[in-house]
């Protein structure tokens, strides 16, 4: 995980841990036994936090940051859904 740092996290209704990985452009899901169950690829390098939202808490909200980009070099990443 060179250059990748775990950042924000949340737990789903099944007890699985969802971690935003700064520098990887990913959110990773781990079971209670530590097995990686899923990886969500995000079209931005700095995923910063995650949360389940909605009436049934079934929508994964992912935030990103552009802290290491100067304003004139900052790409125009667009919101996405998965």
pLDDT tens, 57-67?
999 999 988 76
Instruction: Choose, from 2, 7, 12, 56, the residue flagged as catalytic.
Output: 7
Per-residue pLDDT, averaged over 5-31, amounts to 95
User: What's the mean pLDDT when you consider all of the chain?
Assistant: 85
Predicted model pTM: 0.80
Residues in contact with 19: Cβ distance below 8 Å, sequence separation at least 6, in sequence order: 6, 7, 8, 9, 27, 28, 29, 30, 50
Q: Is 56 noted as a catalytic residue in this protein?
A: no
Q: How confident is the model at residue 44 (pLDDT cuts 50, 70, 90)?
A: confident
pLDDT exceeds 70 at position 69: no
């Amino acid at each position: 995980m060179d250059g990748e740092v775990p950042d924000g996290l949340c737990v789903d209704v099944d007890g699985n841990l969802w971690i935003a990985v700064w520098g990887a452009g990913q959110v990773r899901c781990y079971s209670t036994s530590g097995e990686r169950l899923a990886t969500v690829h995000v079209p931005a390098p700095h995923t910063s936090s995650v949360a389940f939202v909605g009436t049934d808490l079934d929508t994964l909200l992912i935030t990103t940051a552009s802290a290491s980009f100067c304003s004139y070099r900052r790409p125009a990443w667009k919101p996405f859904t998965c």
